[in-house]
């Protein structure tokens, strides 16, 4: 006999202005509740959804990335400008907050030198910015950079508690 296995998917959509602390609280609650029932839960990193931006190339889902890894579009701009990619990333990123990447290479990162979140296209060109020092990019307050099309992006944080929720055998 195989062990019974239950796979559960729990998704939370939280406007970013609510901050990610709510996700942490909910994750701990669900993890403890499942643990009491002899189950476990594995939690995946948050994603960002960008919708409605006039620059359609930035619309879509973004996955959280390691803050020590340099976005490819950022590296492209550094090479074009003949800047040292690694040292420029260290100067501009705080190396703590994750940055977020779209499948097409667009990315969102927090720039510590100007205190803004940047939403850049796949070629590394900045399209939208917002002044905000939160751990995650905010839902509102974005403005288009010169040449970027309106409307402004709508941003949501989606956190998934992804289950491999498995019943344990009784001892």
**Class of residue 26 by CB neighbours under 10 A (exposed 0-12, middle 13-18, buried 19+):** middle
pLDDT digits (tens, 9 = 90+) for 149-163: 999 999 998 875 444
Residue that is written with structure tokens 């020092």 in the block: 133
pLDDT at 146: 95
pLDDT digits (tens, 9 = 90+) for 98-131: 999 999 999 999 999 999 999 999 999 999 999 9
Alpha carbons 1 and 57: distance in angstroms, whole number: 50
pLDDT at 46: 77
From first CA to last CA, the distance across the chain in angstroms is 16
pLDDT at 158: 86
pLDDT at 37: 61
Q: Which of 2-6, 35-39, 114-118 holds the top average pLDDT?
A: 114-118
Helix/strand/coil for 133: coil
pLDDT digits (tens, 9 = 90+) for 70-100: 999 999 999 999 999 999 999 999 999 999 9
Q: Minimum mean pLDDT among 1-5, 34-38, 70-74: which range? A: 1-5
Alpha carbons 82 and 71: distance in angstroms, whole number: 16
Q: Which residues contact 132 (CB under 8 A, 6 or more apart)?
A: 115, 116, 117, 138, 141
Mean pLDDT of 1-16: 46
CA dihedral 126, 129, 133, 134 (to 10 degrees): -100
pLDDT of 144 > 50? The answer is yes
DSSP 8-state secondary structure symbol assigned to residue 87 = H
6: left (phi over 0), alpha (psi -120 to 50) or beta: beta
pLDDT at 149: 97
Closest CA to 74 of 117, 41, 123: 123
């Amino acid at each position: 006999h195989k062990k019974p296995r239950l796979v559960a998917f729990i998704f939370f959509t939280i406007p970013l202005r609510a901050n990610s602390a709510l996700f942490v609280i909910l994750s701990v609650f669900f993890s403890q509740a499942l643990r009491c029932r002899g189950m476990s839960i594995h939690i995946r990193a948050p994603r960002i959804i960008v919708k409605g931006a006039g620059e359609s190339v930035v619309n879509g889902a973004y996955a959280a990335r390691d803050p020590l890894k340099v976005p490819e579009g950022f590296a492209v701009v550094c090479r074009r400008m003949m800047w040292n990619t690694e040292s420029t990333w260290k100067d501009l990123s705080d190396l703590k907050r994750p940055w977020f990447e779209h499948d097409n290479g667009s990315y969102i990162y927090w720039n510590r030198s100007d205190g803004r979140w940047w939403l850049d296209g796949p070629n590394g060109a900045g399209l939208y910015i917002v002044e905000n020092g939160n751990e995650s990019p905010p839902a509102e307050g974005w403005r288009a950079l010169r040449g970027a099309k309106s409307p402004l992006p709508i941003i949501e944080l989606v956190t998934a508690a992804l289950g491999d929720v498995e019943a344990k055998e009784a001892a």
